[in-house]
């Protein structure tokens, strides 16, 4: 589950490493629909996935977001940084946090409920 919807993309030839979440992929889309059923402002387009993911990452490892930039559209969320061995390890952790977050829906629902007002929803 979520194997094809969350990807780490290494492009050393372009000095870039990114983590991409395909918000239109069935697994992510269905999870987003379930989240929106519980939380009306959590309409899970790329912008709200960005709001949730970056808030979550800052909650579990605040320093991890340093040097990571984000880009969202309606159907995707991408986090990226310059290519280096250190940043590759950082982005692997970033990807692992996203995978862990979406893999445990009950825990994710509790996290959103506990932080709903603090998350900057679109």
For the segment 5-40, what is each residue's pLDDT rounded down to a tens digit?
999 999 999 999 999 999 999 999 999 999 999 999
Distance CA 100, CA 74 (A): 23
| Dihedral sign for Cα atoms in the order 28, 33, 38, 41 | positive
Query: Which pLDDT value is given to residue 2?
Result: 63
- Residue 122, pLDDT score: 87
Q: What is the pTM of this model?
A: 0.94
The pLDDT tens digits of the residues spanning 60-101 come to 999 999 999 999 999 999 999 999 999 999 999 999 999 999
Structural domains in the chain, sorted by start: 6-115 (3.30.1360)
């Amino acid at each position: 589950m979520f194997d094809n919807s969350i990807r780490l993309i290494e492009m050393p030839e372009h000095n870039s490493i990114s983590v991409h979440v395909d918000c239109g992929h069935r697994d992510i889309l269905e999870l987003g629909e379930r989240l929106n059923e519980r939380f009306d402002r959590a309409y899970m387009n790329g912008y709200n996935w960005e709001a949730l993911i970056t808030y979550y990452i800052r909650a579990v490892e605040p320093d991890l977001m340093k040097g990571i930039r984000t880009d969202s559209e309606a159907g995707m969320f991408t986090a990226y940084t310059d290519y280096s061995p250190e940043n590759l390890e950082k982005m692997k952790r970033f990807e692992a946090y996203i995978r862990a977050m979406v893999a445990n829906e009950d825990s994710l629902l509790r996290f959103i409920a506990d932080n709903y007002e603090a998350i900057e929803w679109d």
